[in-house]
Every structure is written in structure tokens, then in C-alpha cells.
Amino acid sequence: MHDDEQGQPIDRREALKTLAAAAAAATALDGITASTADAQQPVTPRRPLPVAGAAPAPAVGPRGTPTDPDLITPKSPWPRLLSAQELITVAALCDMIIPADAKSPAASTVGVPAYIDEYVSAPYDWAERALVRVRGGLTWLDVESGKRFGRRFSAATVAQRTAICDDICYLPKAGPAFQAAARFFDMIRDLTASGFYTSDAGMKDLQYVGNVPLAKFDGPPPEVLRKLGLA
Amino acid sequence: MVQASPKSQTSYDVIVVGSGAGGGMAAYQLAVAGLKVLVLEAGRSYDPVRETPMFKLPRHAPLLGAGTKHKPFGFYDATVDGGWEVPGEPYTNAPGTDFKWWRARMLGGRTNHWGRISLRMGEYDFKPKTRDGLGADWPLGYEDLAPYYDRTEMLIGVYGGDDDLENTPGSPAGVLQPAPAPRATELLTKKHAAPLGIPVIPAHLAIMTQRQDATTLPQKIHPDNPLAQRVLAQSMRQRAACLWATPCGWGCSVKANFQSTTVLLPPAMMTGNVDIVPNAMVREVTLDASGKATGVHYIDKLTRTDREVKARVVVLAASACESARIMLNSRSAQFPNGIANSSGLVGKYLMDTVGAGIGGQIPALENLPPHNTDGASGMHMYVPWWQYKEQLAGKLGFARGYHIEFGGGRGMPGPGIFSGLESHTNGAYGQRFKEEARRYYGSFMYFDGRGEMIPNEESYCEIDPTVVDQWGIPVLRFHWKWSEHETKQAAHMVKTFAQMIEAMGGTVQGTVQTDGSKVIANGGQIIHEVGTCRMGTDPRTSVLNEYCQSWDVKNLFVTDGSVFVSNADKNPTLSILALAWRTCDHIMAELQRGNI
């Protein structure tokens, strides 16, 4: 109220407009940097200039390196490694973990296989290990399904897939022959959940209602307080 | 907005090395006092208004925004060219040490991503040795810094409650902003912690729950300084209140929380008294024959060229270890062991915060009605240390306290959201997994202790004689050791958290270790490294006097965490800011007296 009397107050609506303008400006900025050669280049910690003593314009905004990526227009630049056939098997397994139901769709319909491909293909040591585990697990699934049912996992019936998944879904109860497969399954379950519940459909399924600007934060509503015995 | 400007002049009143909490505050205070200031920042320029990824979703980011070695706190974390590793700028560890040194290479430094937790040190914290015989006392007391805490809190905007507890000082009326409404998880914790004698009170965070009063606050903060009042009022009017969404750690484009780049550097630039040169990696403080600092050498990273700038006063605020590194690398005939190091203590008494935590699953939180728990993104409530009397009576087996940061709830789903559901559900998949996910979502909580470390002789940094970084500057080598005071404290933390979780009817995730050395975080991992150029009353046992002025070189000052004599459980940034302000007042007084 003091502020409204002089100067230019920033009210919430204007703050949001500022946000939109900031996003637009940053997008435009990205257009400029993306047209220069270095935006796409892999990690060079700093770009040394060829001529010592030349005074360059100060760098503005992110350089597009792994430690200074463009946060407004993110990119996931590394090549994907899983084959089309592997992705079919991944999709079949994801949908065994998160199938469609009345509240939300199946995992494969919201991009989970693509996320798993991105994950195992990432340029990090842990991803190299994950790639081995996932590839090994996918091949094992098809071999196991072939032994039991004479067909690939993705071509097996839901009942047949369930028979295999039941053997590998819980590491402490998995038999000696299924230890590696159970570790693989748990990794895929975690990744599937991550991919699914970060999608719009997944956030809606969990009834996540945040990430929206509010004029005021009121704390929990009365029904929450009652349920917790705090009312 | 902050513009990285090349040098508009060749000599300055003051060179400030670093643009984070200590550097930003120094630049602001000295600029509004009318001095010509050059700020040298080792990282690139950074504009939070344009670069903050407000409201972005995990799925827009690579790997759903998960942390990597390049972006340890997640893709959207504001940190530029930073983390435990900085490209081309290594550090080394002595055998047996695994110290982690977090750095940021950007305008504003770590203030762009920090946790915003702003707790005042209390009266005991300034005189720890007097109280229990360990460590060292500060050369000043709470009453000396209290006025600067008041003004710093009004300047940057801090929310908090009106509690005023033992060694947990409150703020005078009108200084803090109102605390946000507690979340369900916080209220539930408060209820069940009370019978254990554990207090849960509003936390203090540098986040604005309302807009600052730009009409009256600047006069209160700078009573006799029209320039300061003008630029501060203008800066305050450009800040909005919290939007109650999107994490503070990503930065804030509406300037609702404290970042040097949104709160200190803009009004500093408005004075017209400040030039900022980014990509300037300072390597040495220069000295004249009379023993006064004359300026600094820095490597211009864009051209890999050495440059020299001069000033009447040099202020180091490059971060605790980086400032020590610059001093140790500034060797001369007068100071063969590094500038201002006649005590031999530069780099010594390096401290971090003790950290340990565990998680719990709380059945009472299952299947709660959907509601928004984002809040101010940081904690609204916390637990201050509560066992001063037991501790002083020697009942706990460790000498210093910790506070508890905790949280949980129905936050934005991110990568790893249901890792560990295997064990809770005996390996659920399919329809049952979806139902279990709905049930368990929002029922997990975490409890983290943040405790005081006592400085020791075996925790320090020095120059590694064999390694340089890509700028040719000798790097730091770290030595580290926790004492039993810290490991026992860490064990006490997890035991207490388990009691709290169980009191809430929950189950602890994982095992509760009784050996604190198995749960304590690595040195540096809590990113509260301080010490290395401590203040004191005696030039033989300290590097700086009580105004953070070098005993040896009168026009050399330090305004970052280096100056800390002890490292109370209170997160250091607020104290760095308040101390930096006090130092600037002293610099002005010394200049006016003609002493420097």
C-alpha cells in the first residue's frame, strides 16, 4: 500500500507478466546463441580465444555446456542407444508395471520408454552400468519368455508376462536363478515410475496440485487438519 | 539490471574479489558510501530475471532434471559452472581426506542457489571457548553484530517468527516478515515432537512473504544516506513477494528471495559507483614496499591474459577457501608464506557443518486430501537446538548443538519419486503399484541435522606444491578430520530423528546407525565451509582483527566465511552478510581517519 503511492509497484499480475516476458526474452536469446556454432558443441570448459589480448564482448547467458546449460530451453543432446526392438520390449514391461486404469493411461503412452532410453544412453559412468543391466535384462526377458512360451516377451500374453514378472518383481523373494532379473526389474520399475509420475497424466493421477503461483499460501485445508488430528 | 562492464577507469577506491554474499554486500555498502568499487567475479555474468527456469517441470529437462556430476543439485539448479567439480579448476586431497569443495562460477556465486536459511548466531556462539573450553572465542559478541543482523534482515527480506529462545535470538519487532503458514507435515511433527521436549518453531528464511515497504525501510536501514535510500527504495520496488511455487534453488526471476544478483548488486550498480568484471580469476594480491596492498592480479578467462588493477583497499570475498588460496598464493619477500599470513594461520581451522539425516514413512500422511504443499519451497518450521543445559552438564558426550531441518509432503513428482517402493509393497507392480503409489505419495518425510563442528588442527587447506589449474594458479590441497564431538553428535541426530519418526507412528527407512562416523557427511558436503582466515584479538593466533581487517596489511579485508572463528549450527550466510556490513563501516571509518 505504501508502494502503490509512489514509483512503480510490481503487483502479482505484473510479476507474472514479467515472468512471461522474461521467458520470451530468454527464448529469443536462445535463438541467437543456437545459431552460433558453439551452442551445440560438447564440453569445452572455456572457449579460449585465439588471439590473446583481444577484448571480446562479455558473454551473455548460458554457453550451452553441460555445466552451463540453457535452463529455459533445455536439451538432452546425447545419442540414444536402445534399438527399436529393445524399445518394444521396454514398452511391454513398462506397461506391466504401470498399465492403464480408470484414472490414468499406461506408462508407454506418456513417453516412458523414451525416458528409459535417455537414461541408459546418458554420458555418465552410472549410465554405462545401467545400460548393461537394462540390455541384459531385456535380452533375458525375451530368452525366458522364449523358453517358457515360445515367443518374445512383447508378443506374450498378459498372463504369460505376469508369470515371468511374478518371479522377478521382488528381490528378497526372487529365487537364485532370478536375482539378476529382479535387480533389472526394480530398476525398470523405478524408472517407469519416474517417467510416468512426472508426466501430466501421472501428476494428475497423484493429484499433485502445486507449481502454480498463488497470491497467498494458506497451509493445509481443514479436511487435512481433521484427518491428521490437528484441527 | 546488472551489466558486466569493462573497466571504465583504471584505479578504484576498492577492489572487491567475489560477488556472492560477502562480495555483494561489500560492493553495495561501499558504493552507497560513495566509493568507486571494482568487483571481480571469477565466473560469468548472470541475470536471474532472464535465466531462472521459473515453473519448469522435470519432464522438460534432461533426465527429468536429476542431479548429475555437471549439475549436482539437479538440472534446474541455478549454479553455473559449479558443484563439487569446476571444469579446469581442480583441487586435491591429502591421503585419507575426502573433502568436497563446492564452488560456483557465476555472478552472485552461491547466493543464487542457496537454501535461504537465515539463522542468527546467538550469544553462546560468539564465546564458545568461554562456555565449554573448546575452540576459540570470537573477538566480538552478539551485541556487536545484532544491529547488523537487524539491518541485514530488513535489507534482504527474511521471514520468521517471534520466538526468542536460549541462544536462538529473535529479531526486534518490525524486522522480520511474517512466517508462512505451516504445512501439514510441519504441524504433525510439531505435535508429536512436543512430548519429546523438542521445540518446533517458525524457521527464518530469506524469502519475502510480502513486499518490502520501500517508503520507510530504506530510511530505517540507511538513516543518514540519501543515495543509499534512493537506490535501495528503487531496488525494493523491483522485488515481488513469493509466488508460493517453483524452487528457490533455481533462482527467482521476481526477486522474492535473497540473491546477491537480485538484492545487492542491482542497487550497487544504480549508484554508478560500481564496475563489475566477470570471468576475472584473481590469483594474487599485490603489495608495495610499505606493506600496503596495491591491488590484484587476475587472469581474464576469456583471453587467458594476466591483468593488474589497483585500488586503495582490497576486499577478499571469494569464498572461504578461495580467499585463503589467493592469500597463500600472494607470496613476497615480506610474506614468503602468503600475504597477511605472519601468524601462519591462513588456511587453518577449516570447518564445515555436521550433517546427518534419515527418512521415514508416516502412515498418517497416506491418502491425504489433495492440497498444495509447495509453500516457500524451503522449510516453514524447524527445530532449533534445545539441549543446552544437558550439554553443558556433560550429559550428551558431545559439546555443541545442531538444529533440525525437516520436510516432506505432496511435492512435485520428480525422478526417483517411488524408488524404494519395492520394499514398502513387497514388489508391487501393475494395478497394485498404481494404487500403492497413490497411497504412499506424500507420506515420506526427511529429517536432517545441521550441527556445529569444533575447529581442529587437522582440518585445513594449503597450496598443493605440484598442481595448478587451467589458469596456471596453484590449487588447494585439503586435510580433514572429524573429532568425536562431531561423530557423536551425528549419532545423536539420527537417534533423535528415529524417535521423532516413531513418535509420529512412522517407520524409519534404513538402519539407524549408532556409530556417527557411518552417517556423518563428508567435510565440505554441507557447503558451509568457513574458517581459514579467522578473526581474533591477537595477531599471533588470528589472521584478522574484529573488523575482518588483516593484522599485517591494514588495507586488506576479508568479508566471506573465511573469517569465522567457530561454525555454529546456524547456517553461515546471514552472518557473512552482517559481518561484511560491519567491515564496510570500519573501512569507511579507517579511510576517514586516514589510516588506510
The 10s digit of each residue's pLDDT in A60-80 is 799 999 999 999 999 999 999
| pLDDT, mean of residues A82-97 | 98
The minimum CA-CA distance between A34 and chain B, rounded to whole Å, is: 15
Instruction: Specify whether B491 is located in the same domain as B546.
Output: no
pLDDT at B368: 96
pLDDT category at B4 given cuts 50, 70, 90 is very low
DSSP run (H or E) holding B577: helix B573-593
Contact B211 A10 (CB under 8 A): yes
Nearest by CB: B70 against A67, A169, A185 = A67
Cβ-nearest to A210 among B76, B303, B372: B372
Rounded Cα–Cα distance for residues B333 and B313 (Å)? 21
Cross-chain CB nearest to A2 (options B214, B373, B470): B214
Instruction: Using alpha carbons, select from B476, B589, B474 the residue that is nearest to residue B532.
Output: B476
By three-state DSSP, how is residue B310 classified? strand
Q: In terms of domains, do B251 and B302 share one? A: yes
**Statement to judge: residues B323 and B216 lie in one domain:** yes
Shortest alpha-carbon distance between residue B273 and chain A (Å) = 20
Is residue B281 in some structural domain? yes
The stretch B123-149 carries a mean pLDDT of 98
Q: Name the domain boundary from B519, B546, B573.
A: B519
Q: Do B76 and A71 touch (CB under 8 A)?
A: yes
Which of B239, B302, B432, B440 to substitute to test the interface with A, most A CBs within 10 Å? B302
Query: For position B472, which CATH number holds?
Result: 3.50.50.60
pLDDT at A58 over 60: no
pLDDT at B420: 86
Q: Do residues B311 and B361 both lie within one domain?
A: no
Interface test with B, best of A13, A141, A198 (most B CBs within 10 A): A198
Pairwise CB contact (< 8 Å): B437 & A193: yes
Q: What confidence tier does A115 reach under pLDDT thresholds 50, 70, 90? A: very high
Q: With respect to residue B56, please indicate whether it lies within any of the assigned structural domains.
A: yes
Are B221 and B311 members of one domain? yes
B328 and B348 within one domain: yes
Tell me which amino acid residue B88 is: G
Q: Which residues of A touch B416 (CB under 8 A)?
A: 190, 194
- Which residues from chain A sit within 8 angstroms of residue B104, using beta carbons? none
pLDDT number for residue B235: 98
Nearest CB neighbour to B431, from listed A2, A101, A202: A101
Pure H helices in B166-244? 184-193, 217-221, 226-237
Q: Are residues B487 and B476 in the same domain?
A: no
Question: Can you tell me the mean pLDDT for B297-323?
Answer: 97
* Domain total of chain B: 2
* Residues 6 or more apart whose Cβ sits within 8 Å of residue B489: B354, B398, B400, B401, B402, B449, B451, B452, B516
Would residue B166 count as lying in a domain? no
B49 and B60 co-located in one domain: yes
Amino acid identity for residue B450 in this structure? R
Establish whether this prediction's ipTM goes over 0.90.
yes
**How near does any CA of chain B get to the CA of A137, in Å?**
17
What is the domain range of residue B560?
Answer: 11-158+204-353+457-481+529-593
Amino acid at the residue B227:
L
Average pLDDT over residues A5-27: 40
Q: B-chain residues within 8 Å CB-CB of A212?
A: 245, 372
pLDDT score, position B6: 45
Whether A5 has a pLDDT exceeding 90, the answer reads no
Picking from B51, B55, B437, the nearest residue to A61 by CB comes out as: B51
Q: How confident is the model at residue B410 (pLDDT cuts 50, 70, 90)?
A: very high
pLDDT at A16 over 80: no
Q: Which residues of chain A are within 8 Å of residue B180 when distances are taken between CB atoms?
A: 217, 219
Which of A7, A203, A214 shows the shortest C-beta gap to B243?
A: A214
Q: B145 and B23 in one domain? A: yes
The pLDDT, as a whole number, for residue A10 is: 40
Q: Is residue A37 very low, low, confident or very high in pLDDT (cuts 50, 70, 90)?
A: very low
**Domain boundary residue among B498, B519, B540?**
B519
Q: Are residues B427 and B487 in the same domain?
A: yes
Q: Is the pLDDT of residue B298 over 70?
A: yes
B383 in the same domain as B275: no
Residue B175 within a domain: no
- What is the tens place of the pLDDT at every residue in A178-203? 999 999 999 999 999 999 999 999 99
Chain B residues near residue A8 by CB distance under 8 angstroms: 237
Average pLDDT, chain A: 82
Q: In the predicted model, what is the mean pLDDT of chain B? A: 97
- Whether the predicted pLDDT of A35 surpasses 80: no
Instruction: Give the per-residue pLDDT at B10.
Output: 65
> Would you call A49 and B411 a contact, using CB atoms and an 8 Å cutoff?
no
Average pLDDT of the segment spanning A89-110: 98
Q: Does residue B171 sit within a domain?
A: no
pLDDT score of A44: 36
Q: What pLDDT, on a 0 to 100 scale, did the predictor assign at position A17?
A: 46
In a domain, B172, yes or no: no
What is the predicted pLDDT for the residue at B451?
A: 98
Q: How far is CA B240 from CA B51, B243, B261, B262, B283, in A?
A: 17, 8, 15, 11, 38
Q: pLDDT tens across B336-394, in order?
A: 999 999 999 999 999 999 999 999 999 999 999 999 999 999 999 999 999 999 999 99
Counting one residue from chain A and one from chain B, the pairs whose CB atoms sit within 8 A come to: 301
State whether B279 and A165 contact (CB < 8 Å): no
B5: in domain: no
The chain A residue lying nearest B217, using CA atoms, is A2
Residue B470 shares a structural domain with residue B406: no
Task: Specify if B548 maps to a domain.
Answer: yes
Residue B9: predicted pLDDT: 60
Q: Rounded to a whole number, what is the distance in Å from the CA of A150 to chain B's nearest CA?
A: 24
pLDDT at A133 over 80: yes
Q: Report CB contact under 8 Å: A12, B45.
A: no
The H helix count followed by the E strand count for chain B is: 15, 18
The reply to whether residue A61 touches residue B47, judged by beta carbons under 8 angstroms, is: yes
Rounded-to-integer distance, Cα B452 and Cα A223, Å: 40
- Nearest CA of chain A to the CA of B67: how many Å? 11
- Please, which contacts does A33-38 make with residues 24 or more away whose CB atoms are closer than 8 Å? A33/A61, A33/A62, A33/A63, A33/A64, A33/A70, A34/A64, A38/A63, A38/A64
Of the partner residues B187, B376, B430, the one whose CB lies closest to the CB of residue A96: B430
pLDDT of residue B441: 98
Contacts of A100 (CB under 8 A, 6+ apart): A106, A109
pLDDT in the model for residue B8: 52
pLDDT tens digits, residue range A160-178?
A: 999 999 999 999 999 999 9
pLDDT tens digits, B59-72: 999 999 999 999 99
pLDDT value of residue A60: 76
Q: Kindly state the cell numbers that stand for B450.
A: 545441521
Interface residue of A67, A128, A188, A191 to substitute, partner B, most B CBs within 10 Å: A67
Confidence of residue B11 (pLDDT cuts 50, 70, 90): confident
DSSP B449-486: EEEPBPP-TT-EEEEEEEEE-TTSPEEEEEE----HHH
Name which of A47-56, B14-23, B95-104 the model is least confident about: A47-56
